[in-house]
Amino acid sequence: MPAPDLTRRHSLHALAALAWPAGVARAQAAGGITIRLSHVVARQTPKGLALERFAQLVHTRSAGRIRVEVYPNSALYGDADEMQALQLGAVDMLAPSLSKFSRIGFPEFELFDLPFLFADQEQVRRVQSGTLGQQLLAALSRQRLVGLGYLDNGFKHMSANRPLRVPAEFRGQRMRVQASRVIAQQMRALGAQPVVLDFGETRRALATGVVDGTENPVSNFWTQGMHEVQTHLTLTHHAYLGYAVVAQERFWAQLGVAERQLLVQALHQSLVWGNAIARQENAQALAALREVGGTQVHDLAPAQRQQLQAATAPVYQALGQRIGPHWLAQVQAAVQG
Ligand code: SIN
């Protein structure tokens, strides 16, 4: 059964009105090139910081001719409408979480959501920089997107108004999830009820009791002020959260070769830098969280982790067909090295 989807209804008409007419580059209108890049998290997160750095590098290297306007915190678009905004040309670039590509026809991206698949970021890196990761980026052209690279946030943890250390503690909890069937199934396997919600609406939903808990890396938990509305955070480290930076194909094709090269190089450098600081950003967020108190932080004992892993193991079988057995086999082989 699909998880209830409480996301905002997007208005395609409103987006279409914002879109630039085909063939008219933003460059011509502004006497330079202005690139609009929208995302849903705060500036002080691995993604927020890496994209700001990208904007700065582009500004410097193009001597101000190319401007990347970064709109954080769902200021322009949220989860429910950002992909449509990109496809219609209302924005030029996005950096959605990998989980959010299934909504536009890429269920194989949900392999990154599989619980307890990756032991650490090095394994993730091996997958993303290898054949599988590159094939996934290339496949985005099916929806007229240019896949430009991957960016880490980190590993997710479970929060609620109770500790979530073993499946029995998940029972009956309404857990906010991204629109990923793998994540929804993971929550069901634990005995919880998944509720699909926009990231930008999650804190309020937690505060008002629409949902009881959620999962996120600590940097997102902290910068959204979720610690003010969740009394417990259990460091489950159960699955990975990362992003793909994408551009709209038509916009990309309008750029000159030198411009594309400048953007690719600046982005690549920013992603490498972002991946290097992601762990530290999450560690700092955790330290800040511990310092302000309020939310109790629980470590997971090996036996508890084992219970969570065993409970969620059937997700692989249940969703293997949706992800694609060949993708699943490839990722498992790549993880093992
Ligand atoms: C993000 O990090 O971009 C948001 C993740 C989420 O929706 O939980």
pLDDT computed for residue 5 by the predictor: 44
282 Cβ inside 6 Å of ligand 1: no
Q: What is the pLDDT of residues 193-229, one digit of tens each?
A: 999 999 999 999 999 999 999 999 999 999 999 999 9
CA 100 to ligand 1 center in whole angstroms: 9
Residue 4 lies in a domain: no
The position carrying tokens 């699955």 is 239
Q: Which atom of ligand 1 is nearest to the CA of 39?
A: 3
Paired with 35 in beta bridges are: 68
Task: Give the number of the atom of ligand 1 that is nearest the alpha carbon of residue 199.
Answer: 7
Q: Is the pLDDT of residue 17 over 90?
A: no
Is the minimum distance from the CB of 199 to ligand 1 under 6 angstroms?
Answer: yes
Q: With a 6 A CB cut-off, is 41 part of the ligand 1 pocket?
A: yes
Label the pairing between strands 93-94 and 240-248. Answer: antiparallel
Q: Is the CB of 220 under 6 A from ligand 1?
A: yes
Give the chain's domain count. 1
Over 60: is that where the pLDDT of 7 sits? no
User: How large is the average pLDDT for residues 20-25?
Assistant: 42
Is residue 29 in some structural domain?
yes
Asked if residue 250 lies in contact with residue 236, where contact means CB atoms within 8 angstroms, the answer is: no
Verify whether ligand 1 is closer than 6 Å to residue 7 (CB atom). no
Residue 256 CB neighbours (<10 A): 10
Strands (E), 28-92: 33-38, 66-71
Percent above pLDDT 90 for the chain:
90
Q: Looking at the domain assignment, is residue 325 inside a domain?
A: yes
> What's the CA gap between 279 and 326, in Å, rounded?
31
Q: What average pLDDT score do residues 261-277 get?
A: 98
Q: Is the CB of 223 under 6 A from ligand 1?
A: no
The separation between the first and the last C-alpha atoms of the chain, rounded to the nearest angstrom, is 35
Residue nearest to atom 7 of ligand 1 (CA): 199
The mean of the pLDDT values for the chain is 92
Q: How far is the CA of 233 from the centre of ligand 1 (A)?
A: 17
* Backbone region of residue 9 per phi and psi (left: phi > 0; alpha: psi in -120 to 50; beta: other values): beta
Q: Give residues with Cβ within 8 angstroms of 68, minimum separation 6.
A: 35, 37, 51, 54, 55, 58, 59, 93
Q: Is 40 domain-assigned?
A: yes
pLDDT of residue 6: 43
pLDDT for the residue numbered 336: 86
At 146-177, the pLDDT tens digits run 999 999 999 999 999 999 999 999 999 999 99
pLDDT of residue 26: 54
Residue 279 lies in a domain: yes
CA–centroid distance, residue 97 to ligand 1 (Å): 6
Q: Which two tokens stand for residue 30?
A: 């502004």
pLDDT of 43 strictly over 80: yes
Residue 240 Cβ contacting ligand 1 at under 6 Å: no
Helices vs strands, H then E, count in the chain: 15, 11
Ligand 1 binding pocket includes 97 (Cβ within 6 Å): yes
Q: Is 175 helix (H, G, I), strand (E, B) or coil?
A: strand
Q: How confident is the model at residue 337 (pLDDT cuts 50, 70, 90)?
A: confident
Q: Dump pLDDT digits (tens) for 72-94.
A: 999 999 999 999 999 999 999 99
Give distance in angstroms: CA of 73 to centre of ligand 1. Answer: 10
Task: Give the span between the Cα atoms of 108 and 102, in whole angstroms.
Answer: 7
The DSSP bridge partners found for residue 49 are none
216 lines ligand 1 (CB under 6 A): yes
Ligand 1 center to residue 22 CA distance, Å? Answer: 31
Q: Is residue 5 part of a domain?
A: no
Closest CA to 219 of 275, 280, 267, 131: 280
Q: Which domain holds residue 25?
A: 12-336
Which atom of ligand 1 is found nearest the CA of 40?
A: 3
73 lines ligand 1 (CB under 6 A): no
222 part of a folded domain: yes
Q: Is there a domain that residue 64 lies in? A: yes
Per residue in 49-69, pLDDT (tens digit) is 999 999 999 999 999 999 999
114-119 mean pLDDT? 98
Predicted local confidence at residue 22, as pLDDT: 40
How confident is the model over 319-331, as pLDDT tens digits?
999 999 999 999 9
Q: What is the CATH number of the domain that holds 245?
A: 3.40.190.170
